[in-house]
Structure 1
């Protein structure tokens, strides 16, 4: 469960008329429907990696204790929430208290906080009575921000309560208290975190290249380098990009991102990482770095990517979930 996040990137309500005029076989242009189908077919092939066990679908994470909240459910029974932390979970967009307040005061509040909500486990309170505890994991950096700001802590707890209520169909009182002398109740269990999607990039060369074959004959370039925050990437410039939706009106079936990467010679130098609402791209060694949030939740497992060596444009196709929560 996440609160909604506002995206700083520009979104164009246009169709895919100009996505790639030079991506067809023998130099012929490809219409938007053909490009869409080609990228999705490519993405479907990639799912075989998980099916054959070459890349795990998820991995286990042991969270670190943070702080413990006590409240009650609709039956007046005690409920404890262990807010724990891990660097394995992505951090939400870094904003200030003032920016958060403006977002919450807007007509359509939109700010996302990635959470991992564990199963409830039976525990004993300090009087020896039975109770239920839930573990909710957030990013370590965001946890530190929450610890320093009552504004962010209050916002986080409203998101946590909503997430628990929606997932387990329960009702929780909002007059919660934080325990002073303990960081968690019971033993924190491991969380299964979904492995980030690593889409392959199909590299399209110039039709005049003597080594050019049909797109089906070209080897697919696998992106296996995970994009992580490092000091050298911070200074890399953000490339120009545009996000398009199809269809332009109403809830889109998919998003297409066109990213201009002048100076990039091959897809081998690109690292692309996708989440449900996030795109991270790095062009090695330090040409570009992009970290953006999307306006809709997408199915990253069925994403496709294509790099045109002629115009130096990376096209990423992202199927959109029927409903964004």
Structure 2
């Protein structure tokens, strides 16, 4: 666990147990909760609301000193990651490429809250599967790994920089309110194959205009026996952020574009995969996009 005597952590410990919020602040909290519920009630097509259950709350801050709370929540509607032992996780983290293991999670929108010292702060809700959540109770390694990947997911989605010194609140499971989230229930429409009327030279010119083809590596998990996951790793050295990426998954096809015309990848997959339960994560350090796709059949 993190050393509470460190300078960064000291600034996070202010007034954790203070009580006595006045009526104006109670009204402010109610208005914040109402606004969050109204935003979350707007269900998009091909999605369904889930009601996350509280787990624990992590306190940290941004690189510019803003106070941040991350509510780690759980819902059986979020698919679990592949089962992995602590020994296997240690081996994976010590390998040259530890990015092969991904934790499916739903990242909620930021919501403004006030902490126990009556100061403004920002809270995020991260929802994972209960089976993986339960693994954190008996393993400090799994707990720290979950917090690390949650921070990385929030950083990639919201262009943040979070302090890697953190504290788990002992007396509360979440800060503010945990709003319902919407998760996609149906895969995106399949990619229709159209007959091409272009010449080979025209196709080459069109491909060049869309961007260069990035290196792609496909692996299966587990390496032996019946494949459960197909993992794609795509090197995108010109892409600093996932915001420029557009990914479309069909049952047997993957199309990736990086704007503006940096990269374009269009390939068929060797297995039938479940697009709905697939997860993608872009690592800003290595600039590698990793896509974890559950295998449901042979191509």
Displacement of 1:198 in angstroms is 9.7
Q: How many equivalent pairs are there?
A: 182
Q: Unmatched 5+ residue regions in structure 2?
A: 1-44, 191-213, 234-246, 254-269, 281-287, 291-299
Does 1:189 pair with 2:159? Answer: no
Displacement of 1:304 in angstroms is 5.3
2:133 aligned partner: 143
Match of 1:85 among 74, 78, 83: 74
Does 1:172 pair with 2:162? Answer: yes
Q: Deviations over 1:14-36 (max 9, x none)?
A: xxxxxxxxxxxxxxxxxxxxxxx
Contact 1:299 1:318 in 2 (8 A): no
* Equivalent-residue separation in structure 1 for 2:273 and 2:75 (angstroms): 30
2:61 aligned partner: 72
1:59 aligned partner: 48
* Equivalent-residue separation in structure 1 for 2:144 and 2:58 (angstroms): 12
Displacement of 1:64 in angstroms is 0.3
1:295 aligned partner: 231
Contact 2:154 2:160 in 1 (8 A): yes
Q: Deviations over 1:234-273 (max 9, x none)?
A: xxxxxxxxxxxxxxx9427xx8xxxxxxxxxxxxxxxxxx
Q: Deviations over 1:170-229 (max 9, x none)?
A: 1111110000010000110111111153999xxxxxxxxxxxxxxxxxxxxxxxxxxxxx
* Equivalent-residue separation in structure 1 for 2:110 and 2:165 (angstroms): 20
1:27 aligned partner: none
2:119 aligned partner: 129
Higher RCO (CA-CA < 8 Å; seq separation 6+): 1
1:235 aligned partner: none
Match of 1:105 among 94, 112, 122: 94
* Equivalent-residue separation in structure 2 for 1:139 and 1:318 (angstroms): 17
* Equivalent-residue separation in structure 2 for 1:68 and 1:315 (angstroms): 39
Contact 2:188 2:248 in 1 (8 A): no
Q: How does 1:157-236 map to 2 (within 5 A)?
A: 157-197=147-187
Displacement of 1:136 in angstroms is 0.5
* Equivalent-residue separation in structure 2 for 1:145 and 1:318 (angstroms): 25
Does 1:155 pair with 2:126? Answer: no
* Equivalent-residue separation in structure 2 for 1:316 and 1:169 (angstroms): 33
Displacement of 1:315 in angstroms is 6.8
1:94 aligned partner: 83
**TM score, norm. by length of structure 2:** 0.53
Q: Deviations over 1:59-82 (max 9, x none)?
A: 111100000000111221211000
| Change in 2 beyond 3 A, CA 1:250/1:169 | closer
| Change in 2 beyond 3 A, CA 1:60/1:70 | same
**TM score, norm. by length of structure 1:** 0.49
| Change in 2 beyond 3 A, CA 1:106/1:189 | same
Contact 1:199 1:304 in 2 (8 A): no
RMSD of equivalent CA atoms = 3.6
Displacement of 1:131 in angstroms is 0.5
